[in-house]
Amino acid sequence: MKLGWPVEIAGTGAYLPERVVTNDEMAQYVDTSHDWIVQRTGIHERRRAGPGESTVTMAKHASEAALADAGVTPDEIDLIVVATITPDYQLPATACLLQAELGCRWVPAYDMAAACSGYVWALIQAAQYVVNDLAQNVLVVGAEYLTTITDMQDRGTCILFGDAAGAAVIRRSQVADRRMLAGQWGADGYRSMLINIPGGGAKEPASHRTVDERLHFMHMKGREVYKFAVTQMHSILVDTCAEAGVSVDDLKLVVPHQSNLRIIESACKRAGVPMEKVVVNINRYGNSSAASCAVGLHEARQEGRIQEGDLVIMVAFGAGLTWGSLLMRV
């Protein structure tokens, strides 16, 4: 989609739990090794939320940092969207809990369940309220407590995931050139079951049996997801640039979803993007789903990797299967 919307990221924030889980620690739970994990995924360690922490508390920390960065107070927020697949409760929405935690007004607050694409989708969706003057300042959050839905007995998944939160405040651009230039969002529901949590929902309500059979954890067909991811990440990267009428060479920074270093390297290499232009933090945080691009964007801003006028693209994919991209001139 060609967008051309005069919407800017006014501020960003992130929160990473203190507790570091190394690959050697993972090898105490399942039959794996540091070398296997590094070679196949690029992950060295990930974070795990601890006592007293939850998706909402992580979202709150990240949001407060984003608000401070944007110079916006909680009562100036007009809409809150939280991308998450690990809400604190089935209901109410995490965004409603966050609204109260931050001390915002009674503004609309809802969750977006698009898995790892959720943050990009939430940005695209939230920006429409800004463009249409239905909201001035929107808080967009990606927050995940993935280790609560990760089966620590399944070596095919447990090594991948970590906990984190990232946030951004978006508003109408204060500088003419800052724009959301193009974006994509899509889903292939025909392949929904490649990543799913079979139990605990309306189809298989929680019972002793669903717990005994570990159906309340995430199940994934890793190899098939891998193939989808490499192809899709490459094509949305290239297609989004084409829709905006910019060359891939002109990109200053690519902020990809951190799912597997090999997926990122393969997609970027095929698109002709050198790795020095790519944000990589999977070595430190693993895959934090909806928080992944949010944290990546925040860290890139903090490290001074993004300057006025740069072209920055986020690319993500995840359960659903879903995908999303957003190309901005910042």
Annotated catalytic sites, by residue? 116, 257, 287
What angle is formed at CA 3 by the lines to CA 66 and CA 172, rounded to 5 degrees?
A: 40
Q: Which stretch binds ligand COA (CB under 6 A): 61-69, 73-81, 88-96, 224-232?
A: 224-232
The span of 9-17, 221-229, 242-250, 302-310 binding ligand COA (CB under 6 A) equals 221-229
Q: Which H/E stretch holds residue 313? A: strand 311-318
CB of 279 to ligand COA, least distance (A): 16
The amino acid that residue 176 corresponds to is A
Binding map of ligand COA across residues 156-195, x = CB under 6 A, - = no contact: x--x------------------------------------
Choose one: 12-20, 100-108, 223-231, 275-283; the region binding ligand COA (CB under 6 A).
223-231
The window from 5-13, 37-45, 70-78, 177-185 that contacts ligand COA (CB under 6 A) reads 37-45
Could you say whether residue 225 binds ligand COA (CB under 6 A)?
yes
| 32, 125, 147, 173: residue in contact with ligand COA (rule CB under 6 A) | 32
Q: Token digits for 210? A: 């669903």
Residues 35, 9: Cα–Cα separation, whole Å: 38
Instruction: Compute the distance between CA of residue 255 and CA of residue 120 in angstroms, rounded to an integer.
Output: 11
Residues 6+ apart with CB under 8 A from 142: 82, 83, 84, 118, 119, 122, 165, 166, 167, 289, 290, 291, 292, 293, 294, 295
Counting contacts by CB under 6 A, is residue 219 touching ligand COA? Answer: no
For residue 221, the Cα-to-chain-centroid distance in whole angstroms is: 20
Q: Among 223, 245, 303, 308, which residue sits at the site for ligand COA (rule: CB under 6 A)?
A: 223
155 binds ligand COA (CB under 6 A): yes
In the chain the first and final C-alpha atoms are separated, in Å, by 18
**Residues listed for the chain:** 330
Q: Name the residues that contact ligand COA, by CB under 6 A.
A: 32, 36-37, 40-41, 116, 155-156, 159, 220, 222-223, 225-226, 229, 259-260, 287, 318
